[in-house]
Structure 1
C-alpha cells in the first residue's frame, strides 16, 4: 500500500504475519526443500478446536505456521482478514472455511461469482458479495499495494508466468506487503518456471485445502467438509462397483469450437471426473487442443460433459451444439445425453457439487437421473436423491462444527 510518507511501507508493520525462513536465493525460494507433505502447525486449542490433524500447537501460543510448496513455511499470529487470490480454487477454499468476506480479489469475480451463486443457493446461510472484488489476473504490482492484503493466497510460481510479473516482483510483494501461500500448478501438473523447478511439489485439491485451512486456523471446518467428501466418495465407489461399464465420455469446453480436456490423469482440474474412471472418448487428444466437429463425430461419445456449462448460458450453448448440421450423428446428441458441468478450477465446494452431478450424469441407474436443466440454480433434489448432505456442508461453512 502507499504509506503515509508517500512510499511503500515495510512488512515490519505487519507483525502478526511473516514468511518464515523463505527468501530468494540463487533464483529459488529457500525454505521449501526441507518441507514435508504434511508439515503445518495450527493455533492452540483456545482458538482452534482440532490441532491433531496436521500437527501440534506452537510453543509460542500467539503464533502458528503452515507449510505449502512452493511458498515454504509461513507464520501467523491470527487468521488473515484481507485475502488476495487469483485462481478460483483458492477463493473457493476461503469461502468453504467461512472466510468469504476476507476476499479482496480473484480472477473474473463477476463471471465465476455468477456460477458459484448457483451452488450457494443450495447451502442455507452461505453467500458471498462478489461486487467489490478486484479482478486479479496479471495485475499491476500497484494493485497489490492498494489491496494491502494480509496474505496472498496464490502460487508465487504461477504469478511469474504472467506477463507483468517475474521472480523479483514476487519477492518484493512478499517482503513489502505480505507472504504468498498457494499452489496452482497442481491443476495440470504443469512444469514450473525455472526459478522454482527444483522446489516444486504437486498436491491433490484436498491436500491444498488442508494447508489453507491451517492458514485460517480452521481445522474443524476442514475436517467436517472432508468427512462429507469421504462419505460422498464411498457412496460413489459403491455405486460404481454395482454398475455396468461406464459410458464412453467426452469432456470439452464449447467456446467458438471444441476445446478438449481429459477426464482422467493427475491434476486438481480432474478431481471431479477422475474418480469415475470413465473411458475417455478423446483420450488421445492433448489437453486444451481445439478439434472440429468431424473429430468429435469420429470419437462418437455416448455422453458429453460440457465444461463451464452450468449457468445462464446453458440453453444457448446446448442449442448451438444440437443445431450443428452434422452433430446429430453423435451418439450423445442422438440420445440427448449432453450435460453441463461446472468450472475446471473450482475448490472444495465446487468439487462436492460436481461429483454429485457427474455421478448422476454417468450412472443414472445407481445415483438417480440428472434432471432437465435450463440454466438456473443447481437443481433442488429431494433429500433421498442427494448424494451429500447440504446441511452438513452449510453448517461447516457457517461454523457450526
Structure 2
C-alpha cells in the first residue's frame, strides 16, 4: 500500500423514488431542483415512502427518531438542528470525542418514546421544521401507539415527514424502497443543502474502505460470526441476528467479508415477527468462529473482556466454544450506526478480526474532522 498514506494510517502491522438532484452551491445553499417564486427559493427532496417534500430553506430544527440519521446531521455540520431522538441513550456519540470541533448536545434532545409509547403531542411541543423520520416506522410499531391518522395530522399541522428505516430489512410492512447508508445520507445532505460536504465524506469513505479491503485475507481465510443481542454482564440467553440481512447496521461486517455463522443452520434471526432466543447449547451446535454481542456499547474492549467474556470463559458450556477459547467474542456495535460511526466500527472490527494485518488508527481523524467543520 503506497497511496493515501496520510489519510489512512497504520493499515498494515507486520441507496418511493430514486435520488433527486439537489446540488449545492459553494456556500452550501441548495441549488438545482429549485424554484424561485417572488424571491423565495424553494427546493424538493424525494424519498420513499413519503415522496417529494418541498422546503423553503434548510431546516433549523429537525425531529429525529433514528440515531443513524442524527449521525448524518452531525457529519454534515448540522448537529445543532437535532431536537429529538427516539431514545437518546441509543445515540452513541463517543466517537465524536476523537474528532476535533465535532460534538452534539445529547442532553438537549427530547426523547420521543415514553412509558406510554409516543404521544402525538410531543411533535406539537417540538414544533420542528421537519420530521426526519420514516412515518411507516411510527405507524407500524405497535409499542408507539400512533395511528396513521395521528401521523397525518402531525404532518398537516406541524411539518412534513421524510425518512426511511434503513437499519434492518426484516420488517414485513417495509414494502417500499430500501436505501443504503450512503443513499440515505445523500438525502439528508440534500435537505440541509450540504451535497458538496457529503461528496467529500463519501470520497473519504470510499477510499478508506478500498484501502482496507485491498489488504483483507482471502475470503476462505475470513472467520464467520454469530451476531446476537445479549445485554447484561452474565448473558445466558441470546436474540440472534442474521449477518445476511442487508440493513445498514451490518455494513461494517459486509465491508470486511465476515460470514454469517447461521447460514444453513435453520436458525432465523431477530425480526418484527421472530423474537425467539437461543442458548449456549444451541450456539455450541453452530460453534461459530466468532461471536458479536450487542447491548454493550457503553463498555470499552477491556471492560467487555473483564465482564462478559470472563463470565463466558467460566461457564461450563460457553467455555468450550471456539470463539470463547480464542478470545473472538466482541461487542456487536450499535443498532443504528450512522456514517461517522461506521468509519470507527470498521476500524474496530478490522483490527479485532485481523490483528496481524491492521493495527492502530486506520484513518486520519484530523482530515475527517476538517471535512465536517470547514
Same fold (TM over 0.5): yes
Secondary structure in 1 matching 2:54? strand
Shift of 1:328: 1.0
Q: Which residue of 2 aligns with 1:87?
A: 66
Q: Verify the 8 A CA contact 1:155 1:183 in the aligned structure 2.
A: yes
Secondary structure in 2 matching 1:187? coil
Deviations 1:320-363 (CA, angstroms, capped at 9, x unpaired): 33332321111111121212242021111111111111112222
Shift of 1:189: 4.8
Distance of 2:123 and 2:196 partners within structure 1 = 31
Q: Verify the 8 A CA contact 2:83 2:108 in the aligned structure 1.
A: yes
Deviations 1:225-260 (CA, angstroms, capped at 9, x unpaired): 111110121012211255761023222122352121
Q: Verify the 8 A CA contact 1:49 1:220 in the aligned structure 2.
A: no
Q: Which residue of 1 aligns with 2:140?
A: 161
Q: Verify the 8 A CA contact 2:43 2:54 in the aligned structure 1.
A: yes
Distance of 1:65 and 1:344 partners within structure 2 = 30
Distance of 1:238 and 1:49 partners within structure 2 = 37
Distance of 1:131 and 1:290 partners within structure 2 = 34
Shift of 1:49: 7.1
Alignment counterpart, residue 249 of structure 1, candidates 221, 225, 229: 225
Distance of 2:26 and 2:259 partners within structure 1 = 49
Please, which runs of 5 or more residues in structure 2 have no aligned partner?
Answer: 1-15, 271-275
Q: Which residue of 2 aligns with 1:351?
A: 342
Higher relative contact order (CA 8 A, sep 6+): 2
Q: Mean Cα displacement is larger for which, 326-335 or 244-253?
A: 244-253
Alignment counterpart, residue 112 of structure 1, candidates 86, 90, 104: 90
Please, which runs of 5 or more residues in structure 1 have no aligned partner?
Answer: 1-31, 369-384
Q: Over aligned residue pairs, what C-alpha RMSD do you find?
A: 2.2
Distance of 2:141 and 2:47 partners within structure 1 = 21
Q: Identify if the C-alpha distance between structure 1 residues 235 and 308 changes in structure 2 by more than 3 Å, giving closer, same or farther.
A: farther
Tell whether 2:365 aligns with 1:390: yes
Tell whether 2:43 aligns with 1:64: yes
Secondary structure in 2 matching 1:171? helix
TM-score (normalised: structure 1): 0.78
Distance of 2:350 and 2:30 partners within structure 1 = 32
Moved over 6 A (4+): none
Shift of 1:269: 2.1
Deviations 1:145-197 (CA, angstroms, capped at 9, x unpaired): 0000110010011110133212111111111000101100562252226xxx4
Shift of 1:267: 1.7
Shift of 1:286: 1.3
Q: Which residue of 2 aligns with 1:74?
A: 53
Q: Which residue of 2 aligns with 1:270?
A: 250
Distance of 1:50 and 1:64 partners within structure 2 = 7
